[in-house]
Amino acid sequence: MKRVVITGLGAITPIGNNVGEFWEAAKSGTNGVGEITKFDASGFKCRIAAEVKNFDPTAFIDKKEVKRMDQYTQYTMVAAAEAFESSGLDMKKDAWRRGVMTGSGIGGIQTFAEQHSVFMERGEGRVSPFFIPMMISNMGAAQVAIKYGLRGINYNVVSACASGTHAIGDAFRQIQYGSCDAVIAGGAEAAVTPLSLAGFCNMKALSTRNDDPATASRPFDAERDGFVMGEGAGYIVLEELEHAKARGANIICEMVGYGATDDAYHITSPIPGGEGGAKAMSLAIEDAGITPDKVDYINAHGTSTKYNDSFETSAIKSVFGEYANKVAVSSTKSMTGHLLGAAGGIEAIVCAKAISDGFIPPTINYKNPDPECDLDVVPNVGRKADVTYAMSNSLGFGGHNATIMFKKYKD
């Protein structure tokens, strides 16, 4: 099969609106969580989120078009623009061989809620004619293709919090099998809305550490009390190796493995012991053609919920055995919150940068060790490290598990 390399990165996150800002903030352990400013959340049990700050899409998108895009699509467009620019890819060549694969677990929920209010208050005649194309979750992929003229494979993955990772894995396979030369893939989410917040609050899934938002997201810590909603987008440009070399592309790293499974257990809870996640990791390791002891860094799903963190720890132990206590395992959700369907996109960027920069970002807010989560979680302070193989895990409601593997590039 074809070899696949990463040649471009683009990010919009709660701790930086481009890859450079995001990566420096992640390295230094910057907190992106605060009180919700997008709407009045005073009546909610959870009043905190990791919001994107100072976002202005008009530098990349015409103002008229901005009004016809849900914010998750705006995040997609801006992150994609950065990824393409950094890749140096000539967008006018070989359009049928270039694709787009996005992931969004929820899609245009902001548009959905706003237009439902219009319908209920003002009647069907006042609903926007752009309601449907703004709301549907494939529109991020479609808008990127329209802007850049990309005519190859194009779709959106919906697998809850595993969406972005599944999109990247699917793109990897398309290039491996020779169907495409280049695919931009990742995820976007803009679900910090009253309706989403109410739903997650009533599930009791969210942290209620409202008085101290800076420490609310604390993966693997014994006092974790739920995840913090985040938003943004992360996209990477995947390219067939010889195609990248022929145009003199800057190769950031190589993608070498992908594993996908399902727990087949429960609509929200991971299976006890993390068997499904463990199998996804094993498949990615096998796909990469290595043994577990070759993995230098795992970007964990690490949501800061009781069951997820303990079951993911169990899964890692079952796959890595005695080596589990030697591999660095950090959760950047401690800084960004949980970006839901976009999480896999930005966490793939973390893995790529960890390899290229030789640095592993920390799990911040780690104060009280949990005996059920006794891994090297890179507590509070990141570290320099020679990272040859980096793995990213994503686990979604419905039992969806996805793992992707990156490697330091050698010709």
| Nearest-angstrom CA–CA distance, 88 and 105 | 29
What stretch of H or E contains 101?
strand 98-103
The 3-state DSSP class for residue 100 equals strand
Write the CB contacts of 179 (distance below 8 Å, at least 6 apart in sequence).
152, 153
Q: How far apart are the first and last CA of the chain?
A: 16
| Nearest-angstrom CA–CA distance, 186 and 240 | 17
**Catalytic center residues:** 161, 301, 338
Strands 98-103 and 182-189: parallel
| Nearest-angstrom CA–CA distance, 79 and 256 | 23
Beta strands in 241-388 (DSSP E): 253-262, 297-299, 328-330, 359-360, 383-384
CB 111 within 8 A of CB 127: no
Q: How far is CA 303 from its chain centroid?
A: 12
| Nearest-angstrom CA–CA distance, 256 and 172 | 9
Both tokens of 231, joined, read 């938003």
DSSP code string of 156-170: EE-BTBTHHHHHHHH
Residue 64, exposed/middle/buried by CB under 10 A (0-12, 13-18, 19+)?
exposed
Both tokens of 24, joined, read 């420096």
Q: What is the CA radius of gyration of the chain?
A: 20
Tell me the CB-side half-sphere exposure of residue 397, using CA atoms within 13 A. Answer: 12
